[in-house]
Amino acid sequence: MADKFLSISRRTRQTPFTPRVESAGVQGYTVYNHMLLPTFFESSEADYWSLCEDVQVWDVSCERQIEVSGPDSERLIQLMTPRDISKAVVGQGLYAPLCDENGNVVNDPVLIKFAPDNWWISIADSDVRLWARGLAFGFGLDVEIREAAVWPLAVQGPKAQELVTRVFGDEVSGIEFFRSKMLEFHGKPMMVMRSGYSKQGGFEIYLNDPELALPLWDDLFAKGADLRVRAGGPNLIERIESGLLSYGNDMNFTHNPFECGLDAFIDLDADIESMSLPALRTIKGKHLHQLVGIVFDEAVEFDDFKIEVNGKVVGDVRSQVWSPRYRRFLTMVMMKREFLSANTNVNINGKLGKIVDLPFDFDAIV
Ligand code: THG
């Protein structure tokens, strides 16, 4: 489908950074959690090289923070995820699927233990607040649930640490992966976490005062000029090469975490109260699909995103991109496991695709 203009209204919420995103020359937006998310500035490919070689500032305000506070907050978070959160420390982030009573994926957020009775669910694109409020009511939990007045700004790329240090000081280098510190900007403490939706390294600054949005953006650009800082956004090429999943694209509420390859984030044997664990223990090993990579030497056009073999649909193309670095066409496909057990290739209109595990192992592919 060709790109169209997006009609913007109050429902497609802007962010405190939008004025600067606009003046930086944004060319594409998507809508994520009912909020604008910039997709590209110069071009997807030019943005990709800038991200991999220098440093970028991303308005990821749309990673909304669903704040759960009160005495039952940890109990509610644990009910929602099959990942054991009991050992998390304050300031830690945990990538964790949220799963329903059937074991299906509701969202794949970063969970943040902000304080002992205060958790933030840094959500992907689905309405977690509604589900959380329904669960809290149904289970009779003593919690408050709201969307926090917080707008994350990501700084990503090999020069991200240098840039964030120039703005927030030397304490930045001591932040470990998926850990955070409260650091001051204009006298106001904000959470700075070593995290972000790329594998190029970097940080996320959780802006908690909209008045400081433009000063923060401007400071990053003033101090990063010699680092060739650019505006960017989650980059399709980079995230597919890196095997980062995108909820709503690669998987949705009809898939379970085994099908998505999220096994590492499920503590099947943990003695925890998680509403999806009974179902997940039953499903494990018997799931019908598997998200895999299929690699082609040249771009392929799919009919209706379906992979058909001998007139039968064996897979569903969820994401695809041309990789300029590896000069391969990379697809992420939800395949029938039955087909995978007997095949290592597919043939689409005469083009041979090699089926591989995710994340892509380019040493083996190229
Ligand atoms: N940052 C924050 N919130 C988010 C995202 C983010 N919410 C939405 C979306 N992105 C959630 N999706 C992901 C997917 C992967 C990762 C983070 C968020 C990720 N994974 C690492 C990996 O796969 O190597 C490590 C996970 C771990 O070890 O815990 O970083 O980007 N705030």
pLDDT along the chain (366 residues), means of 10: 86 97 97 98 98 98 98 98 98 98 98 98 98 98 98 98 98 98 98 98 98 98 98 98 98 98 98 98 96 97 90 95 98 97 92 96 90
254 and 344 together in one domain: yes
CA distance 267 to 188: 37
Contacts of 360 (CB under 8 A, 6+ apart): 241, 243, 293, 295, 330
The residue out of 147, 166, 188 marking a domain boundary is: 147
pLDDT at 366: 77
DSSP reduced 3-state for 257: coil
The residue out of 224, 240, 256 marking a domain boundary is: 240
Q: Tell me, yes or no, whether 154 lies in a domain.
A: yes
Asked if residue 107 has its Cβ within 6 Å of ligand 1, the reply is: no
50 and 199 together in one domain: yes
Asked if residue 293 has its Cβ within 6 Å of ligand 1, the reply is: no
The residue nearest atom 27 of ligand 1, judged by CA position, is 95
102 and 207 together in one domain: no
Q: Tell me, yes or no, whether 48 lies in a domain.
A: yes
Ligand 1 center–CA 93 separation, angstroms: 9
122 and 236 together in one domain: no
Q: Which of 51, 120, 195, 242 to mutate to test the pocket of ligand 1 (most atoms within 8 A of CB)?
A: 195
142: domain CATH number? 3.30.70.1400
Ligand 1 center–CA 22 separation, angstroms: 26
DSSP H or E segment with residue 241: helix 236-241
- The domain tally of the chain equals 3
341 and 354 together in one domain: yes
51 and 185 together in one domain: yes
pLDDT at 4: 86
Residue type, position 114, single letter: F
pLDDT at 317: 97
163 and 143 together in one domain: no
Asked if residue 108 has its Cβ within 6 Å of ligand 1, the reply is: yes
Q: Tell me, yes or no, whether 216 lies in a domain.
A: yes
DSSP H or E segment with residue 116: none
Q: Tell me, yes or no, whether 8 lies in a domain.
A: no
Question: Do residues 159 and 23 lie in contact, with contact meaning Cβ atoms separated by under 8 Å?
Answer: no
251 and 361 together in one domain: yes
Ligand 1 center–CA 344 separation, angstroms: 29
187 and 215 together in one domain: yes
The residue out of 147, 171, 192 marking a domain boundary is: 147
Q: Tell me, yes or no, whether 269 lies in a domain.
A: yes
CA–CA distances in Å: residue 363 to residues 326, 353, 354: 10, 17, 14
85 and 101 together in one domain: yes
Place of tokens 């598997």: 290
Question: Do residues 155 and 138 lie in contact, with contact meaning Cβ atoms separated by under 8 Å?
Answer: no
Domain range enclosing 37: 18-59+150-240
30: domain CATH number? 3.30.1360.120
183 and 138 together in one domain: no
Q: Which atom of ligand 1 is nearest to the CA of 94?
A: 29
- Interior CA angle at 173 toward 168 and 174, to 5°? 110
Ligand 1 center–CA 198 separation, angstroms: 8
Q: Which of 325, 158, 155 is nearest to 238 (CA)?
A: 325
Q: Tell me, yes or no, whether 10 lies in a domain.
A: no
Q: Tell me, yes or no, whether 161 lies in a domain.
A: yes
348: domain CATH number? 2.40.30.110
- φ, ψ for residue 67, nearest 5 deg: -90, 125
pLDDT at 202: 98
Asked if residue 128 has its Cβ within 6 Å of ligand 1, the reply is: no
304 and 361 together in one domain: yes
DSSP reduced 3-state for 49: helix
Q: What is the pTM of this model?
A: 0.97
**Tokens linked to 46:** 């030019």
pLDDT in tens, 174-230: 999 999 999 999 999 999 999 999 999 999 999 999 999 999 999 999 999 999 999
Q: Tell me, yes or no, whether 351 lies in a domain.
A: yes
